Amino acid sequence: MSQLQSIAEAVIRGEFPETQRLIDEALENGVKPVEIINNGLIAGMQVIADRFKRNEIYVPEVSIAARAMNAGLNIVKPLVSETNMKPVAKVIIGTMKGDLHDIGKKLVAMMLEGAGFAVIDLGIDVSPEKFVDAVREYRPQIMAMSALLTTTMPAMAGSVKLLEESGLRSQVKVIVGGAPITDAYAGKIGADGYSPDAGSAVDLAKSLVS
């Protein structure tokens, strides 16, 4: 089994010290951090997502795998972030109110940081009011919203509406993503863009500030 497969397997089993040990080993052997993320951590989480969808596993197993994934991300994160650069632009990012899913959002934040953006992560369960307050406070060029639940998607529309009502809409580009989000939905709520994954979120953000 390759080192990346072993990392994926450790995530699937939810063994977080083992995930960390395998990542350290892979890094020592010269495996690139981005490969560890894509072909180790995300690959493992994808298996979990598929099993959850088929009702083969339940929330506790998913939570344990997510903990292993996060433990791994914490190791790799500093390695993909370029620290001594002038930021390309400032981004605020958060998961919508009522939504506690943060793995994808963290990946997007990490990839943006890696590409030289200054990222302010507002966390999970972020209300439209909190997004708008953060735009006022931090004056970002980009506001990025993540939703994993269909029930929390409407809060994205609510945030865009509140930005408009607050007179701040023209000051910030709004981008959205997350498993249930589509390009059509982004258009419908008046966002400036949608990206299906963390890599393309970077391209989208760059295109909006260039």
Out of 29, 53, 167, 184, point to the residue binding ligand B1M (CB under 6 A).
53
CB of 176 to ligand B1M, least distance (A): 5
- Characterize the bridge pairing of strands 193-194 and 142-146: unpaired
**Given the rule CB under 6 A, which of 82-90, 126-134, 147-155, 161-169 is the region that contacts ligand B1M?**
147-155
**Given the rule CB under 6 A, which of 20-28, 29-37, 92-100, 161-169 is the region that contacts ligand B1M?**
92-100
Which of the residues 10 through 39 are near ligand B1M (CB under 6 A)? Answer: none
Rounded Cα gap, residues 4 and 42, in angstroms: 10
Buried b (16+ CB within 10 A) or exposed e, 128-161: bebbbebbeeeebbbbbbbbbbeebbebbbbbbe
CB of 117 to ligand B1M, least distance (A): 12
Nearest alpha-carbon partner for 146 in 121, 111, 172: 121
Which of the residues 167 through 206 are near ligand B1M (CB under 6 A)? Answer: 175-180, 195, 197-198, 201
**Given the rule CB under 6 A, which of 9-17, 24-32, 59-67, 164-172 is the region that contacts ligand B1M?**
59-67
- For residue 160, state whether it binds ligand B1M (rule: CB under 6 A): no
Q: Which is nearer to ligand B1M, 30 or 52 (CB)?
A: 52
- For residue 59, state whether it binds ligand B1M (rule: CB under 6 A): yes
With H, G, I as helix, E, B as strand and everything else as coil, classify residue 177: strand
User: In angstroms, what CA-CA distances link 134 with 109, 137, 154, 163, 208?
Assistant: 16, 5, 19, 11, 19
Phi, psi of 197 (to 5 degrees): -150, 175
Q: At residue 148, what is the residue type?
A: L
Rounded Cα gap, residues 64 and 147, in angstroms: 21
Q: Which residues bind ligand B1M (CB under 6 A)?
A: 42, 45, 48-49, 52-53, 59, 62-63, 66, 98-105, 107-108, 144, 146, 148-150, 175-180, 195, 197-198, 201
